Each structure stands twice: as C-alpha cells, then as structure tokens.
C-alpha cells in the first residue's frame, strides 16, 4: 500500500479519532435504518425511508461543516447528517414510532422529515426541493446579520429537475451566498433511472449555468466527499459563494418500505451496488491503513447495536401525542 493511501485522512487533516468517529456515525445510521425495516416488516411502524448506501456521502459532508454553527437542510435520506448535527438514535426511533417526543414534529410528520431548532436542522417537508430556496434564504439572512454561517442543503438527482432547484441555485449564484448544494445521486428517483431524469452527464454540470463551481465525487468514499465538501464550505466561508457538489451513491434498499424494486432493478445490479457500500469500503480503508483492526470495528458495531436496541425500547414505550394536540400550533399561541 502506498504512503498516500495510508495518509489520506491525515493529509485531509483528520485524526484517527475523527475517522473512527466518522465510521461509527455511518454505522449508527445504518443500524438504526436496518432496525426500522425490521420494525416495519413486523408491523410496528408504517413507513421507512432509508439512508443505506448514502452514509459515506452524508458523513463526509457533515464533517466538512462546522457542526457548532452551520445550518443544515437535509432531505429524507440524510439520517447520518441529522445524527452528526446532534439528533440521537432515540430521536430517530421516536420519529419512526411517531411519538410525542419526536423532535422533528411531535409525531406529525413521517420519519426522516428532520428538523430541530436547537441543532440548527431546519424542518423539512415531503414535496422535494422546496428546501433548496430555504437554504438560500438562511444564507442570505446570516450574511445580513454578519454571522459566519454556511447553509448545507441536500436532495436527490431526481429532485434536481424541480424548478425550485433552478431558482434556488440561481438566486444563490447571483448573490454569492454561503450555501453548499449537495446532490446525493443514487441513480434512481423511485423507479426512474437517472438517464430518464436528466440528459446531462452529471448533475454537477448544471453549476456553470449558475456561475458556481460544480464538483462530482465518488459518494462511496467518505474521505473524497469530505475533501470536496471542505473545499466548498471553505469557499463559502471566505465569501466566494456557493458550490454544487454531487456525490454518486448507491441506494441499497427499495425507495421506501412502500416500494418493491424488483420490477425495475436486476439482482445483479444490486450485487454491484453492494460492492460500493460506503461502510464496507471505509471499514476496509481503516483496517488496511491500520487505523483499526477487525476486532475494533466489530466492537464499534456491537456498541452501535446496543444503542439502537436501547433507543428502540425507549421509543416503543414512549408516549404518543395527546389527541388534543391535533389542533395546536397552526398559528402562534399566546
């Protein structure tokens, strides 16, 4: 193994603790996600939508942000970003069970519709791409206030075809705002392959139409994503404006628990995709570079599983919202 390979994370300024924490976070998101499928198949929760295959992209992105002050506007696959910004596995499960303590919505929204003010995670909805102009507005407001804030907003490649993508990026480009637009391109919008979604070779090619750089990276490689995103957030922080970053990922599950992907994805294709599992790849990197041994990684996994077990037990027992809550918070109260 070459020295460059060994030192990839160090060259990026990431310590051993950093990369182990990143690995743990990816695994935490994965195990929580897997748990939700089990709960769904057992009839305990009505809906799951997954991060599986995207964890590398998400953790690489989140680590490039300043988690103490930046704002994130994640989309429904961004489980690892929500965790990186302070939500817990308990929070995820509370949302999955739609309990009163769900920090996103008190059980009002579907799972993975993240939002908690104290973590600077802006509330998201289901209609895709609406969050893109919101991120631009956050960046605009932060600049008006003189705050050193970068706004992160994510979405799929299918969603990059919505008008709000275009209008949002254009606005940010004109006003050179500190936003990073992060496209997680997993090659599908539900059943429709990217080639039927857009004719451009890469979503990143759209950036030039907004006067900003467009970078495409291998989203299965958490360190490559970190590198590209760090350049983008640095640029934003220096006042040089927005960047569009596209991370190529794999979707290791059907679109959601309501989907059956056998009609439109061959099993061979799925096998190929699994080889690009970012957790597998990062685990290999860590062992091959000697950052951690197999046993150490297994220990992390064990710890993570315990955390998911505890969270599941807690969330399952937690109280649901009082039915009277239905009528609350349409407008400001008091």
Partner 1 sequence: MALKTYIEAVRDALREEMARDSSVFVLGEDVGVRGGVFRATLGLLEEFGAERVLDAPLAESAIVGVAIGASLYGMRPVAEIQFADFILPAVNQIISEAAKMRYRSNNDWYCPLVIRAPYGGGVHGGLYHSQSVEALFYHIPGLKVVAPATPYDVKGLLKAAIRDDDPVLFFEHKKCYRSIRGEVPEADYTVPIGTARVAREGTDITVISYGMTLHTVLEAANVVQGEGISAHVLDLRSLRPLDESAILEAAEKTGKVMIVHEDNKVGGVGAEVAALIAEKALFSLDAPVMRLAGPEVPAMPFNPDLEKEYVLTVPRMARAMRELARF
Ligand X SMILES: Cc1ncc(C[n+]2csc(CCOP(=O)(O)OP(=O)(O)O)c2C)c(N)n1
Does residue 198 touch partner 1 according to CB under 8 A?
yes
Give residue 118's Cα distance to chain centre. 18
Residue 186 touches which of Mg ion, partner 1, a second copy, none (Cβ within 5-8 Å per kind) = Mg ion
Does residue 167 touch partner 1 according to CB under 8 A?
yes
* Residue 328 designated active-site: no
By CB under 8 A, the count of residues binding partner 1 is 74
Residue 132, Ramachandran bin (φ over 0: left; ψ between -120 and 50: alpha; else beta): alpha
Burial 203-229 (b: 16+ CB within 10 A, else e): bbebbeebebbbbbbbbbbbbbbbbbb
The residue within the footprint of partner 1, chosen from 164, 221, 224, 301 (CB under 8 A), is 164
Please tell me the distance from the alpha carbon of residue 246 to that of residue 214, in angstroms, as a whole number: 8
**Which residues make up the interface to ligand X (CB under 6 A)?**
77, 126-128, 155-159, 184, 186, 188-190, 251, 255
Of the candidates 285, 283, 219, the one whose C-alpha atom is nearest the C-alpha of residue 251 is 219
Catalytic residue, from 6, 175, 264, 314: name it: 264
* Residue 251 designated active-site: yes
Q: Return the residues of window 291-320 that contact partner 1 according to CB under 8 A.
A: 320
Of the candidates 212, 266, 218, 235, the one whose C-alpha atom is nearest the C-alpha of residue 65 is 235
Residue 34 touches which of Mg ion, ligand X, partner 1, none (Cβ within 5-8 Å per kind) = none
Catalytic residue, from 166, 175, 255, 281: name it: 255
Does residue 331 touch partner 1 according to CB under 8 A?
yes
Of the candidates 266, 154, 293, the one whose C-alpha atom is nearest the C-alpha of residue 219 is 154
Give residue 123's Cα distance to chain centre. 14
Which 3 state secondary structure label does DSSP give 98?
coil
Does residue 72 touch partner 1 according to CB under 8 A?
no
Residue 77 touches which of a second copy, ligand X, partner 1, none (Cβ within 5-8 Å per kind) = ligand X
**Which residues make up the interface to a second copy (CB under 8 A)?**
161-167, 170, 173-174, 176, 195-201, 205-206, 208-212, 241
* Residue 264 designated active-site: yes
Calculate the dihedral angle through the C-alpha atoms of 298, 304, 310, 316, rounding to the nearest 10 degrees.
-120
Residue nearest to Mg ion (CB): 156
Q: Which stretch, 8-16, 30-38, 142-150, 242-250, contacts partner 1 (CB under 8 A)?
A: 142-150
Q: Which residues contact 272 (CB under 8 A, 6 or more apart)?
A: none
The residue within the footprint of partner 1, chosen from 205, 259, 296, 307 (CB under 8 A), is 259
Q: What track of x and - describes contact with Mg ion for positions 117 through 156 (by CB under 5 A)?
A: ---------------------------------------x
Q: Which is nearer to a second copy, 155 or 226 (CB)?
A: 155
Using an 8 Å Cβ cutoff, are 244 and 206 in contact?
A: yes
The residue within the footprint of Mg ion, chosen from 186, 233, 253, 312 (CB under 5 A), is 186
Q: Which is nearer to ligand X, 78 or 224 (CB)?
A: 78
Give residue 41's Cα distance to chain centre. 24
Using an 8 Å Cβ cutoff, are 286 and 6 in contact?
A: no
Using an 8 Å Cβ cutoff, are 54 and 77 in contact?
A: yes
Shortest Å distance, C-beta 10 to partner 1: 36
Which residues contribute to the site for Mg ion (CB under 5 A)?
156-158, 186, 188-189
Active-site positions read 251, 255, 264
């Amino acid at each position: 193994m070459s020295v460059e390979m060994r030192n990839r994370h160090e060259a990026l300024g990431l310590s051993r603790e950093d990369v182990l924490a990143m690995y743990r976070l990816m695994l935490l998101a994965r195990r929580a996600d897997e748990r939700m499928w089990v709960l769904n198949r057992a009839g305990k929760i009505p809906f799951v939508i997954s991060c599986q295959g995207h964890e590398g992209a998400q953790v690489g992105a989140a680590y490039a942000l300043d988690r103490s002050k930046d704002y994130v506007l994640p989309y429904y696959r961004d489980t690892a970003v929500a965790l990186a910004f302070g939500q817990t596995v308990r929070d995820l499960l509370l949302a999955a069970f739609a309990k009163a303590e769900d920090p996103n919505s008190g059980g009002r929204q579907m799972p993975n519709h993240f939002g908690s003010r104290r973590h600077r995670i802006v509330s998201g909805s289901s209609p895709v791409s609406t969050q893109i102009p919101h991120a631009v507005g956050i960046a605009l407001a932060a600049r008006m206030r003189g705050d050193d804030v970068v706004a992160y907003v994510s979405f799929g490649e299918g969603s990059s075809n919505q008008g709000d993508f275009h209008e949002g990026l254009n606005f940010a480009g004109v006003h050179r705002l500190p936003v990073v637009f992060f496209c997680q391109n997993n090659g599908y919008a539900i059943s429709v392959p990217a080639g039927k979604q857009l004719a451009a070779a890469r979503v990143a090619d759209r950036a030039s139409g907004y006067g900003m750089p467009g970078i495409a990276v291998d989203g299965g490689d958490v360190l490559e994503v970190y590198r590209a995103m760090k350049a983008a957030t640095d640029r934003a922080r220096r006042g040089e404006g927005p960047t569009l970053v596209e991370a190529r990922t794999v979707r290791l599950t059907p679109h959601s628990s309501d989907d059956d992907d056998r009609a439109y994805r061959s099993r061979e294709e799925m096998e190929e995709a699994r080889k690009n599992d970012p957790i597998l790849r990062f685990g290999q990197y860590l062992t091959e570079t000697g950052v951690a041994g197999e046993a150490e990684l297994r220990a992390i996994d064990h710890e993570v599983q315990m955390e998911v077990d505890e969270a599941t037990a807690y969330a399952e027992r937690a109280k649901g919202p009082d039915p009277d809550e239905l009528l609350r918070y349409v407008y400001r109260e008091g």
